[in-house]
Amino acid sequence: MSESGQQSETGRPGRYQRTTGGLLAAMLVLLLAVAAFVIFRGIFRDTPRIEPEPVEYLPLVESLQDAGREVVYPRELPEGWMVTTVVAEPGERPAWGLGILTDDGRFLGLRQQDEDLEDLLAEHVDEETTEEEPLEGVGSVARTWEAYADEGGDHAYAAEVRTDVGDETLLVYGSAPAEDLRTLIESLTLDER
């Protein structure tokens, strides 16, 4: 046969010589190509920055009040704070809540619901919370606020409020400093709008 290696002396077609070194070199080249592509894409791709949009919550408070529902809400928020989410769940056990960002982007939440406190803490704060010194005489909707914290630095204050549906748990929680949670508690009211 020809010297080109097309056919061997045994009459079988010739094969390329495969070595472990050649395989490793090919894998290294492939990995370098993938890494170069990822770096190139990361450098030249613009990641859009999504800014939160404020949500008007007071019109919903008025609607709920017009429907006979008593909800706890902040009279007004400090400069730079904004409500970003509103939750209003109707039904036999209605729920009401707000998601708020402070001026430095820290989260605060408000939840009013006929639900066991431990369940609300597990859902909105952490399954493992520790009890702290309660707040006394802060705000106008409750005399005493039980205080909780988790290992991640989140805080929560809880109180019972009597509303049109009976006793409900009110939870103020978030990653914002405890002082910001107290500021929110001080602004809360059940007043008609």
**DSSP assignment of 48-82:** PPPPPPP---HHHHHHHHHTT----EES---TT-E
- 157 found inside a domain: yes
- 13 found inside a domain: no
Residue 7 has pLDDT above 80, yes or no: no
Stated pTM of the model: 0.72
pLDDT-derived band at 6 (thresholds 50, 70, 90) equals low
Q: Domain containing 69: what range?
A: 58-189
Rounded to the nearest 5°, which phi and psi values hold at 168?
A: -125, 155
Q: Give the angle subtended at the CA of 120 by the CAs of 149 and 68, to the nearest 5°.
A: 125
Residues 6+ apart with CB under 8 A from 163: 69, 70, 71, 112, 190
Condensed to tens digits (0 to 9), the pLDDT of residues 117-174 reads 999 998 889 888 889 999 999 999 999 999 999 888 899 999 999 888 889 999 999 9
- 38 found inside a domain: no
Q: Which residue has the higher pLDDT, 157 or 35?
A: 157
Condensed to tens digits (0 to 9), the pLDDT of residues 77-121 reads 999 999 999 999 888 888 999 999 999 999 999 999 998 899 999
Q: What is the mean pLDDT of residues 52-64?
A: 92
- 30 found inside a domain: no
**What CATH number corresponds to the domain at position 171?**
3.30.200.100
Residues 6+ apart with CB under 8 A from 87: 95, 96, 97, 98, 99, 111
- 103 found inside a domain: yes
Q: What is the mean pLDDT of residues 13-37?
A: 79
Condensed to tens digits (0 to 9), the pLDDT of residues 44-54 reads 777 777 788 89
pLDDT-derived band at 179 (thresholds 50, 70, 90) equals very high
- 140 found inside a domain: yes
The tokens of 108 are what? 């605060």
Q: Work out how many domains the chain is built from and give that number.
A: 1
- 85 found inside a domain: yes
- 2 found inside a domain: no
The tokens of 131 are what? 């009890």
